[in-house]
Amino acid sequence: MPRILMVDGDPDVVHAGRTILENHGMMVDEARGVGETLARCGEWSPDLVYIDVMHRQPAEGVSIAEQIRAGGSDGVIMILATVDRSKGFFTYESDGSLAPVDIPEKPMEPAALVRAIEHVLGE
């Protein structure tokens, strides 16, 4: 059962994401800030950390991803980003680059989140 850590400042987004992922057999935990995210990564060792790139400020999600990697976590980090009014999923690579996940759906549907996570985890 994949362990997913959702990092988002919007409790409604986290609740909706948790519901969707748990209904697809995934274990879900949540974090809201940098400190809480790093603590949960250390305690829980998620298979995937899902971060909204905007989190609370522009590009804060990338900063959180950098800190997770610096802390030694080797789980997959997936970032949801909105670019030019289209949404997409990206994985945060070990070299600090963002690699697109080939799930091109606009607008983003709940099933796209599940497919993207299954895709990057190889399920």
> Which long-range contacts does 96-100 make (Cβ < 8 Å, 24+ apart)?
96/66, 96/69, 98/62
Give strand pairing partners of 98: 92
Whether the per-residue pLDDT at 13 is higher than 70: the answer is yes
Domain membership of residue 44 as a residue range: 3-121
Bridge partners, 11 (sequence order): none
**Domain with 114 in it: what CATH number?**
3.40.50.2300
Structurally, the chain folds into a number of domains equal to 1
pLDDT tens profile 61-94: 777 888 888 888 777 877 776 554 445 677 777 7
**How many Å apart are CA 44 and CA 19, to the nearest integer?**
19
Q: Is the overall model pTM greater than 0.85, yes or no? A: no
